[in-house]
Structure 1
Amino acid sequence: MTLTRRAFGAVSCAAMIALGSGSALAQANLTAETSSPGNSPHLSIMHLADVLGRDGIANLQVQEGQTLTNSIQNVAEGKTDIAALPIVLHFLLEKGRGPYSKQGENGAKLAANLRALYPYNAGAYGLIAHTSSNIEKWTDLKNKTVFNGPPRGAALVNARQAIQMAAGYKDGEDYKGMQANWGQLANILVDGSADAFVVPLTFPSERVTIALSAGNVNIVSTPKEIFEGEAFQRLLKAPGNVPIVVKWENMGYGDDQGVTLISEDGTFRGMGTAFADVVNKDMSNEMAKAITASYIKSMEELKAKAPYAKNINIGVLDAADSGFCGALSLKYHPGAVEAWEEAGYTVPDCAK
């Protein structure tokens, strides 16, 4: 689906805005790609479309429901202006691996064309199961049927890693992995075909809400000792992974809603999926700065647009929490760096 978000009121394509540098920028027509509704990448891009139109910066034509593997390649090739990026894809594109194996050396050239505007995440991998299943710890997955993502891709790899780290179990040996496209998950959450689910969760999570229609739900955190251990911490440093730690009182569930967090200390811990919205390196500094500045001043508004938005690290630029640096070569656009620093934020030197 294609959506165009236009400036409100009397703002027209000829409108001008004053930038911090004192120059003026004509409202532009830009394109963007994002995922299907119901998650943070979609929320982030649609919010950006709203505020850029309202601020007279750009009319953003959004293609939603896209395969982001293709979207970032479109940005790298200059076919699309902005896209939501699971940042592990930048690493895979640069190395010519996974979905980009056919790119070869060209993958590195394409990856070098991408620049980030701002980071966020798409939740953390957690174990959820109906209370009636009697699954209260990761080792209870032994010989169970566990939904762990689509038939292929990063989500399936991450879910398998999360289970192996937390329980030492392998798909097909210790439990039966069940795979289906994300669009089928809503039905699987309630039809009883899977005993448990290891999927990315926001806080609160629409997936938990759907599962509640079939009975009370347990959310099982990664055990603290495992999460803080050397092996799991090494996993968290891999490109695209970030640590997610959320206290029960901030997870968005009431004590009487049928949701139970199983954790040693009332805190959820899990491996999160790092995202950024990216542009081509050839976007002008002026435009990248204007877009990012508009985003920065509207972050509190963004956090109020969805119940989970306050828990996706909006405005958190710390390298470890955002997934930048280390083995990831993705940098922020210089214009974005200017906007963040002028707003009083510290951009890690390794991400500039």
Structure 2
Amino acid sequence: MSRKLLAVLAAASCVGSSALAQGILTAETAAPNTTPGISIIALSEAASKAGIADIQVTSGQTLTNSVQNVAEGKTDIAAAPFILPFLMSRGVGPYAGLGAEAGAGLADNLAVLYTYRISVQGLFAYDSAGVAGWDGLEGKTIFNGPPRGAALTNARLLVKTVTGLDEGTGYTGVQVNWGQAVKTIQDGSADAFVLPQAFPDPRVTAALASGDMTVFSMPKDVHESEAFQKVAKLPGTVAFSMPVAEMGYGDGVTVVSEDDTFRGPGTVGGDIVNVTMDFDTAKALTAAFIENIGPIYHAKASFMNVAWHGETDLELTDMCGANPMKYHPGAVAAWEEAGYTLPDCSK
């Protein structure tokens, strides 16, 4: 079925609230075993359960492209690290080809249904690779994400912040699409990996078949430094810490930290739509999310119940400030009807 025909069917199905059950929506997300992947898949189940829409999910996507597709009206819903709409609004980074004016116009088309912590960027390596930690990365080959995306931007920035090293001069970067991530971790293409992680992380646990691993916390002094505080002020980035004992890893994984606390930059984002999505559909999708945070979202994976779904605190959502997006008006109505208070700056 063509995308054009799908769009016609979706538009026709949304005429009147009684037609919501007949809706067809499209969605794009990351790999299905990641927080954004599971979040969109869970939304499709919640929407189906509530009779709102049939959401056709395409996973394994580079979210840089997915965000632009939503902004251009090519896709209805996407998972989005909040750094991407910020970069789009300025026409920089992966959106440099758009230019500032076109980028700002597209970013204005985006709205949020709900937020969550997508991941925590961090370093890990096989014990057999002989990587002693952050100070052992010079001259190494590092797998740091897909060829184009927020993960790659964040990984390069994190290595630069912690070690001062730049890709190409201080180390060699390897980039592959997410669908090849576990294979690339296992096949010896890289000495170390600076990638988004959940706790416990499915890529780490899947790759344990090839040997034991060590996950390295960001050094405490760097985490508390002025340089990192500037990083943590970027849209979609928050300072994150968690007791090592709560990370969920078992045999085969060692976590290195000075004080039994894992630290790193948390990447915050959410599931987004185009501002032209009708009020009733956005409201119904958000209400279905709120109702099913426990029954569907948290039940999908062990790391989902610590991914901040259902949070509205600005320190955890990173809405407002330099983040150019607001909640969709339909989402605002759903949150408030459910008894939540959203900051005025986010509406």
What letter corresponds to residue 23 of structure 2 in structure 1? Answer: N
Q: Out of 49, 58, 81, which is 2:53 matched to?
A: 58
Counterparts of 1:1-16 in structure 2 under 5 Å? none
What letter corresponds to residue 259 of structure 2 in structure 1? Answer: D
Report how far residue 25 of structure 1 moved.
6.8
What letter corresponds to residue 268 of structure 2 in structure 1? Answer: A
Instruction: Confirm whether residue 93 of structure 1 aligns to residue 96 of structure 2.
Output: no
Q: Indicate if the aligned counterparts of 2:70 and 2:78 stay in contact, CA closer than 8 A.
A: yes
2:71 corresponds to:
76
2:42 corresponds to:
47
Q: Out of 181, 186, 199, which is 1:185 matched to?
A: 181
1:17 corresponds to:
none
After TM superposition, which residue ranges in structure 1, 4 or more long, deviate above 6 angstroms? none
2:302 corresponds to:
307
1:212 corresponds to:
208
Report how far residue 24 of structure 1 moved.
6.4
Q: Structure 1 residues 111, 152: CA separation in 2 closer, same or farther (over 3 Å shift)?
A: closer
Unpaired runs of 5+ in structure 1? 3-12, 15-22
1:20 corresponds to:
none
Q: Distance in 1 between matches of 2:68 and 2:169?
A: 36
Q: Out of 89, 97, 103, which is 1:102 matched to?
A: 97
Alignment length, in residue pairs? Answer: 333
Counterparts of 1:168-179 in structure 2 under 5 Å? 168-179=164-175
* Deviation sequence 1:5-50 (CA, Å, 0-9, x none): xxxxxxxx99xxxxxxxx8674241312223322122211111111
Q: Indicate if the aligned counterparts of 1:150 and 1:180 stay in contact, CA closer than 8 A.
A: yes
Q: Indicate if the aligned counterparts of 2:139 and 2:172 stay in contact, CA closer than 8 A.
A: yes
* Deviation sequence 1:214-242 (CA, Å, 0-9, x none): 22111001112211222111101112323
Q: Structure 1 residues 153, 113: CA separation in 2 closer, same or farther (over 3 Å shift)?
A: closer
1:202 corresponds to:
198
2:324 corresponds to:
329
Q: Distance in 1 between matches of 2:230 and 2:84?
A: 19
Instruction: Confirm whether residue 316 of structure 1 aligns to residue 325 of structure 2.
Output: no
2:227 corresponds to:
231
Q: Distance in 2 between matches of 1:77 and 1:170?
A: 33
Q: Indicate if the aligned counterparts of 1:33 and 1:66 stay in contact, CA closer than 8 A.
A: no
* Deviation sequence 1:162-187 (CA, Å, 0-9, x none): 11222222223333333333333322
Q: Out of 290, 295, 301, which is 2:289 matched to?
A: 295
1:114 corresponds to:
110
Report how far residue 290 of structure 1 moved.
1.6
Q: Indicate if the aligned counterparts of 1:123 and 1:244 stay in contact, CA closer than 8 A.
A: no
Instruction: Confirm whether residue 126 of structure 1 aligns to residue 119 of structure 2.
Output: no
1:10 corresponds to:
none
Q: Distance in 1 between matches of 2:280 and 2:262?
A: 40
Query: As a proportion of its length, which structure holds more helix?
Result: 2
Q: Distance in 1 between matches of 2:336 and 2:243?
A: 30
Q: Distance in 2 between matches of 1:134 and 1:99?
A: 33
Q: Structure 1 residues 341, 207: CA separation in 2 closer, same or farther (over 3 Å shift)?
A: same
Q: Out of 123, 134, 141, which is 2:137 matched to?
A: 141
Select between 224-233 and 145-154 the one with higher mean Cα deviation: 145-154
* Deviation sequence 1:42-63 (CA, Å, 0-9, x none): 2111111111111122222223
What letter corresponds to residue 317 of structure 1 in structure 2? Answer: T
What letter corresponds to residue 246 of structure 1 in structure 2? Answer: M
1:346 corresponds to:
341
TM-score (normalised: structure 2): 0.87
Q: Distance in 1 between matches of 2:96 and 2:216?
A: 35
Report how far residue 278 of structure 1 moved.
1.1
Q: Distance in 1 between matches of 2:175 and 2:274?
A: 34
Q: Distance in 1 between matches of 2:94 and 2:49?
A: 37
Report how far residue 100 of structure 1 moved.
2.8
Q: Distance in 2 between matches of 1:90 and 1:233?
A: 21
What letter corresponds to residue 44 of structure 2 in structure 1? Answer: A
Q: Indicate if the aligned counterparts of 1:241 and 1:271 stay in contact, CA closer than 8 A.
A: yes
Report how far residue 271 of structure 1 moved.
1.2
Q: Distance in 2 between matches of 1:72 and 1:163?
A: 25
TM-score (normalised: structure 1): 0.86
Q: Indicate if the aligned counterparts of 2:219 and 2:258 stay in contact, CA closer than 8 A.
A: yes
Q: Distance in 2 between matches of 1:78 and 1:34?
A: 12
Unpaired runs of 5+ in structure 2? 3-11
Q: Structure 1 residues 265, 343: CA separation in 2 closer, same or farther (over 3 Å shift)?
A: farther
Q: Distance in 1 between matches of 2:65 and 2:144?
A: 23
Instruction: Confirm whether residue 262 of structure 1 aligns to residue 256 of structure 2.
Output: yes
What letter corresponds to residue 232 of structure 2 in structure 1? Answer: L
